[in-house]
Amino acid sequence: MKSRILVIGSSNIDFVCRMPKVPAAGETLISDDSYAFVPGGKGANTAVAASRLGGDVVFCARVGNDSYGEQLSEKYRAEGIDTRFIVNDKASRTGLAVIMVEDGGHNRITVYPGANMNLCEKDIEAAFTTYPDALIMQFEISKDAVIAAAHRAIMNGTKVFLDCGAVTEDFPLEELGKLEVLSPNETETFTLTGITPNSSANCLRACVELMNRIECKYVVLKLGERGCFVYDGTHCHHIAPIDVGEPVDTTAAGDAFTAALTVRYMENGGDIIDACEFANAVGGYVVTKAGAMPSLPTTKELKDFLNSGEE
């Protein structure tokens, strides 16, 4: 039987603009590239990625009282996700992200959280009636919601995979309880530890620092084009990325990485190295495509991509 994965997190509409380079303060740039509105949000991207990779996914989120809210919920339903725990928040608008992508694929994101910040303990309690085996979260919902969900999961014996997307320096990680996996990217690692993970020694220092603050089985640092780095409290491993050349757009690569890691880890009986290798491959696929949700692969698309030697 498949493991049930509960994602508690954000649902956004992304306004994406591509440009040769992001403008400096006071500068106006004219871009001849097009812009687009696409579904996104770290929670939603993760839920869709996990579902496309074969996970049995329940998504708990809040959308706003506008046309985007309905469209997004419909989209998740069409992806085969259990959407019964998506609340339509009558008092708020759907979350909106403004994403600037420059040549080379790197992005700058600002999020207007809207309804995401109203996700509350009652919503979380309702979602746990599905008896999930794993919980994935990020930090685009309120601090209280993240803490309440982590505590509820731990009480139930649900494994917690915490992606540090949008984490702030003052988040009280110590209050979360025992996690299965804590996974920051390079920026988030610096935010949480003050250490830039630019060498094996610094990756290890950052992991040790994180494990001193929070109980978790594994810390997995997402290092972008350098792959990832895993630490279990005793041993560390650097896992090399797949080669995909120049990225088109890195948006949602981290979300997809965490989704893939969780799906594979829950399938393979907790083999973290195998799960990280799989997650690296999925992250590699995602950066070759534009947009957040449009870039997330199904199992078949990933297989074809890896077999095509495109990587």
Tell me which residues are annotated as active site. 255
Nearer to ligand RIB by Cβ, of 98 and 211: the residue is: 98
Sign of CA dihedral 260, 73, 17, 10: negative
Nearer to ligand RIB by Cβ, of 124 and 252: the residue is: 252
CB of 307 to ligand RIB, least distance (A): 27
Nearer to ligand RIB by Cβ, of 66 and 267: the residue is: 66
Phi, psi (5° rounding) for residue 253? -65, -40
Nearer to ligand RIB by Cβ, of 96 and 302: the residue is: 96
Selection from 7, 115, 125, 114 nearest residue 62 by Cα = 115
Written as six digits, the tokens of 201 are 């020694």
CB of 95 to ligand RIB, least distance (A): 7
Measured between its terminal Cα atoms, the distance across the chain in Å is: 32
CB of 186 to ligand RIB, least distance (A): 14
Selection from 164, 134, 154 nearest residue 264 by Cα = 134
Nearer to ligand RIB by Cβ, of 135 and 296: the residue is: 296
CB of 73 to ligand RIB, least distance (A): 16
Dist. CA 275–CA 262, nearest whole Å? 7
Residue numbers at the binding site for ligand RIB (CB under 6 A): 10, 12, 14, 40-42, 45, 97, 109, 111, 140, 165, 251-252, 254-255, 292
CB of 272 to ligand RIB, least distance (A): 22
Written as six digits, the tokens of 17 are 């603009």
Dist. CA 242–CA 244, nearest whole Å? 6
